[in-house]
Chain A
Amino acid sequence: MSSLELSNISKGFKSGMVLEDVSLSVKAGEIVVVFGPSGTGKTVLLRIVAGVQEPDAGGITIDGVDMTDASPEARNVGMAFQNFALFPHFSTHDNIASPLTARNVPEGRLKEQVSAIARMLKIDHVLGHAPRELSNGQKQRTALARALIGQPKVLLLDDPLRNVDAKLRYEMRLELPRLLRTFNSAVIYVTQDYKEAMALGDHIAVLRNGRIEQWDTPTNVYRAPVSLDVARLFGDPTINLAPCRLETVGQGSQIHAFGRVSPVSEAYAEATGRDLVAGLRPEHVIVTETNTPGSVEFDLDAVMPVNVRSVLYLRGPAGEEVLATVGESEAARFGRGHRKVWVSFAPDDILLFDAASGQRLAPRVN
């Protein structure tokens, strides 16, 4: 049974609908990432679960109990805010302890629990400090400790790593899964960073324009996005896109995209003649120095090393822009760019989308 059930939540403001018919279920110990660009209603969704905002329609159940109309203090929910929302006039210790004081936990046990969680999050040395004396990283950990200490049934994390520096964000990304596992809450984690979403989520709910556009495991969201929008939101560099049309030639179908003709599985045959968009992930583009069968000549206009790889900026015979990621050692051969190279890819790596609706074509199953 799920610890948290959201059914058909809708919420509108004067400016329009923010959430439409959002349903979501999270099991105890599971992390569901709600991912989407800013302004898609992610934070509103969390606030509705926390009870500080009311939904226009829909229901919330926590551990089987209907909580739709319960006040925030009755829900047993923990929340970490993007702006930390620490109590500026409380010490770090009192900030963390606030969920325990609400339950009248005796002084001794309270102290014990606070120092235990502070040790776990490496902030035990700043327990006496006021929030304004903390670094952003320490503030963020304090907020996290405060959300976790009550061992809430539901834990809501509103982009908690947004306001900490890159290095710390990365470290926290590594530590969080283990930390969250020990508390066994049902976690909703909101983020705009697709890497964070993929790293942390057991499931990802891609929220766009107030609706859940895709609900799936991270691997599936990346490999099989339901729409162009989802495909563009995951991956760095962004997926390469090219308009194309499906043609029938003899027995099979084919498309002309990224400078060459590629065969397409018969399963897509019914899309023949429609305007399509072909998508190709940069890591699936194969770049060679010499002509290989099936490859096309492109201009290599810029080489951009990115960590362990390099991004190549390629321009095709008709001016098509293609980005490719290749290994660092491979990239070293190309120097500063501005030369000819040969580009190919496996036809199976192409994702096909309907140009009008933006939906990915579903292969017909026989």
Chain B
Amino acid sequence: MERSSSLEKAIRGILITAVLLFFLFPIFWIFLMSFQTNEDILRIPPSLFFEPTLQNYSALLTGKLETAAGSLDIAFMRNLGNSLLLSTFSVLLSLALGVPAAYAFARFKFRLGENIAFTLLSFRFAPPLLVLLPLSLFFKQLGLTDTYIGLIWVYQLICLPLILWIVRGYFEDISPDIENAYRIAGHSWWRTFRRIAIPLARPGIAAAGLLAFIFAWNNFIFALILASASKQPVTVGALAFVTASGIQYGQIAAAIVLSVTPTLLLALYAQRYLVEGLSLGAVKG
């Protein structure tokens, strides 16, 4: 009764192709654009046939952009470095704070526990602009405007709730008896946390860390308002291509390809963690 007719197969094939086209076409098109000159891009009708050029990439890498209106400095590589630095340290800080907190929320029942956990999540609901205006004032007072530390701090609003809620679920899935067994065997609480709880929740921690990294990487608005050119990540930096002499579509496309590549590679690498999961075969009877 699991047999399916060839008609069904055909329809399924067509539908899958349509979905793939719909989702992958923009990425494919951007990829093509990054090898085109602005003239090729703006030609109407657009064509799949063009003379590929590496000019966009070389401009980004050298930091010099030759346009009709003259030479322009672009800080793309620096922006890329900023993105990497901000996202990495934000995620590391979030993990350091969020994993123990997630464990506490999963294992211990304390007063207002659920409320605190929910409040943390609710930061994700509010529009960022709502908090940004007061924040920018505070930051000025505290001297945190346009500093890496200030940005990493603000990025906790993105990373921490994500990590807390995902990792908490993973901790809850581990049978407390496994930890109890380790403690009864004579190990301290701290050792049990390190040797049992953390390794068993590792797929969840990896997944949450990865997602947090991507979210931090893709953030635009916080850095736009709180950082100047020297501290800007790529998302904001791409604005530089909107120049007085016109929009540099080719460079934007190349910048997007370059900035998406790290997260894409990371996602592909970590897929193993996300999908495989640690088999808890030893727990279930």
Name A's B-contacting residues (CB within 8 A). Answer: 47, 50-52, 71-73, 75-79, 81-89, 98-99, 101-103, 130-132, 134, 136, 139, 146, 150, 162-163
Contacts and interface: CB of A to CB of B under 8 A. Distances in A.
A99 B282 contact: no
A72 B178 CA distance: 13
Interface string B180-195: 1111111111000000
Nearest to A162: B285
Given A52-B180, A163-B285, A146 B278 contact: no
B200 interface: yes
Given A73-B187, A73-B188, A83-B177, A88 B282 contact: yes
Given A52-B183, A98-B187, A150-B185, A85 B177 contact: yes
B62 interface: no
B178 A85 contact: yes
Interface in B227-285: 278-285
A69 B15 CA distance: 64
Nearest to B279: A132
Interface string B133-174: 000000000000000000000000000000000000000000
A206 B17 CA distance: 66
Contacts of A131: 281-282
A87 B278 CA distance: 11
A79 B184 contact: yes
Contact of A98 (B177, B182, B278, B283): B182
A146 B177 contact: no
A77 B200 CA distance: 24
The 5 closest A-B pairs by CB, nearest first: A132-B281, A131-B282, A102-B186, A163-B285, A86-B282
Interface of B: 175-178, 180-189, 196, 199-200, 278-285
Contacts of A134: 282
Nearest to A80: B181
B186 A84 contact: no
B181 A79 contact: yes
Contact of A89 (B188, B200, B284): B200
A81 B177 contact: yes
A87 B180 contact: no
30 contacts: A47-B180, A50-B180, A51-B183, A51-B184, A52-B176, A52-B183, A72-B183, A72-B184, A73-B184, A73-B185, A73-B188, A77-B184, A78-B184, A83-B175, A83-B285, A84-B282, A85-B282, A86-B178, A87-B181, A87-B182, A88-B200, A88-B281, A88-B282, A89-B199, A98-B185, A98-B187, A99-B185, A102-B186, A146-B181, A150-B185
Nearest to B187: A102
Contacts of B187: 73, 98, 101-102
Nearest to B180: A52
Nearest to A85: B177
Given A73-B187, A73-B188, A102-B186, A88 B279 contact: yes
A136 B285 contact: yes
Contact of A83 (B185, B189, B283): B283
A75 B278 CA distance: 31
Given A50-B184, A72-B180, A72-B183, A85 B175 contact: yes
Given A86-B283, A89-B199, 19 more contacts: A50-B180, A71-B189, A73-B186, A73-B187, A75-B184, A78-B184, A79-B184, A82-B285, A83-B285, A84-B285, A85-B283, A87-B181, A87-B196, A88-B281, A99-B186, A101-B187, A102-B185, A131-B282, A146-B181
A46 to B, nearest CB: 10
A84 B180 contact: no
A170 B221 CA distance: 67
B81 to A, nearest CB: 36
Contacts of A75: 184
Contacts of B278: 88-89
A73 B183 contact: yes
Contacts of A132: 279, 281-282
Contacts of B189: 71
Contacts of A130: 282
B26 to A, nearest CB: 41
A147 to B, nearest CB: 8
A139 B184 contact: no
A162 B183 CA distance: 23
Contacts of B199: 89
Contacts of B196: 87
A198 to B, nearest CB: 24
Nearest to B285: A163
- Which of A71, A85, A98, A139 has most chain B Cβ within 10 Å? A85
A76 B185 CA distance: 8
Contacts of A102: 185-187
A113 B183 CA distance: 20
Nearest to B282: A131
B199 to A, nearest CB: 5
Nearest to A84: B282
A139 B281 CA distance: 10
A162 B178 CA distance: 18
Contacts of B279: 88, 132
A87 B194 CA distance: 13
A71 B278 CA distance: 29
Given A52-B183, A72-B180, A73-B183, A87 B282 contact: yes
A84 to B, nearest CB: 6
A81 B178 CA distance: 9
Nearest to B280: A88
Nearest to B191: A102
Nearest to B199: A89
A121 B101 CA distance: 41
A180 to B, nearest CB: 18
A20 to B, nearest CB: 23
B98 to A, nearest CB: 22
B282 A146 contact: no
